[in-house]
């Protein structure tokens, strides 16, 4: 007889198990899926390029984000944005589930001399790790849209815990009509699959992050191959700010 539910975390873990380990891009066993994904570094995957996101570069150049401070890069992959943040004066922690992704990011960092602390692990299990807030910037290019709907609860709790008052969230995620599945939240559980990632509308993003102040929300610019920046217009880019009066734990 299994009576293992006593709190919210128990419910979240049970719902994780509805998505068969290894069958999709975010499950308890997702690290192996992503290791296979990153195994061939020469694959023509758009975000394998060694360039920062165009929106991140623009918002720093425009002064919408102050350089320096502490930054956390969620789902950092090969580390292209983490290293760019370090080049702009941030003290950067970067986390990813995949050991293969972290190894690639560390290789690139050694080649460029970037000082980034890379961590292999679950961003929702930061307690007792070196990843402690408050952070002035939380950056996410492609992690959020691979989360099952119930893990938005964990994502928002993470922001509450480690995003500093006055700090910013930079988010890039699949745009409805551009890429990603447009199934309802309930249908993902009926099918036990994430179908490669969830698409979002601007209205959905504004509702989910209603506790933050929207600074800018737009489609990512489609950058040509010769550009110094990465950009694909099937993504939304959003810049949100936490009110200065809000308190962050850490």
Domain of residue 183, residue span: 8-241
Cα dist from 143 to 30, 69, 75, 122, whole Å: 12, 22, 5, 11
pLDDT at res. 57: 98
Considering the domain boundaries, does residue 246 fall inside one? no
- Name the domain count of the chain: 1
DSSP lists the bridge partners of residue 93 as: 72, 117
Q: Does residue 129 sit within a domain?
A: yes
Note the pLDDT of residue 13.
Answer: 85
Is 39 within the bounds of a domain?
yes
- Residue 247 inside a domain? The answer is no
Query: H-helix or E-strand containing 140?
Result: strand 135-141
pLDDT for residue 131: 77
Ranges of residues in the chain with a pLDDT under 50 are 22-26, 28
CA atoms within 13 A on the CB side of 196: 6
DSSP assignment of 3-30, as one string?
Answer: ----SHHHHHHHHHTTS-TTSSSSSTTH
Q: How would you label 137-155 residue by residue, b for 16+ Cβ within 10 Å and e otherwise?
A: bbbbbbbbbbbbebbebbb
Instruction: Tell me, yes or no, whether 78 lies in a domain.
Output: yes
Taking alpha carbons only, the member of 143, 236, 134, 152 closest to residue 188 is 152
The whole-number pLDDT of residue 136 equals 98
What distance in Å separates the CA atoms of residue 153 and residue 231, rounded to the nearest whole number? 28
Q: What pLDDT shows up at residue 22?
A: 45
- Say what the pLDDT of residue 95 is: 95
Which CATH number is 188's domain given?
A: 3.40.50.150
Helix axes 80-87 and 54-61, enclosed angle (nearest 10) = 20
Residue 126 inside a domain? The answer is: yes
Which helix (H) or strand (E) covers residue 54, if one does? helix 54-61
- Does residue 248 fall inside a structural domain? no
Residue 236 to residue 217: CA distance in whole angstroms: 7
Residue 1 lies in a domain: no
């Amino acid at each position: 007889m299994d009576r293992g539910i006593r709190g919210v975390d128990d419910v979240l873990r049970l719902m994780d198990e509805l998505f068969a380990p290894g069958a999709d891009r975010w499950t308890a066993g997702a690290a192996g899926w992503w290791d296979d994904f990153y195994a061939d570094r020469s694959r023509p995957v758009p975000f394998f390029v060694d360039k920062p996101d165009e929106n991140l570069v623009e918002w720093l150049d425009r002064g919408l984000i102050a350089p320096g401070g502490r930054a956390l890069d969620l789902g950092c992959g090969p580390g292209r944005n983490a290293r760019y943040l370090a080049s702009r004066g941030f003290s950067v922690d970067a986390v990813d589930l995949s050991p293969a992704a972290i190894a690639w990011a560390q290789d690139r960092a050694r080649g460029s001399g970037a000082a980034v602390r890379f961590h292999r692990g679950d961003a929702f299990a930061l307690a007792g790790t070196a990843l402690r807030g408050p952070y002035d910037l939380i950056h996410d290019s492609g992690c959020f849209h691979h989360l099952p709907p119930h893990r938005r609860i964990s994502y928002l709790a993470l922001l509450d815990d480690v995003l500093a008052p006055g700090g910013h969230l930079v988010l890039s995620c699949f745009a409805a009509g551009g890429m990603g599945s447009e199934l309802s939240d309930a249908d993902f559980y009926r099918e036990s699959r994430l179908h490669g990632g969830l698409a979002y509308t601007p209205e959905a993003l504004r509702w989910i992050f209603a506790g933050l102040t929207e600074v800018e929300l737009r489609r990512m610019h489609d950058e040509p191959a010769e550009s110094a920046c990465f950009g694909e217009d099937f993504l939304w880019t959003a810049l949100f700010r936490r009110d200065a009066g809000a308190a962050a734990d850490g």
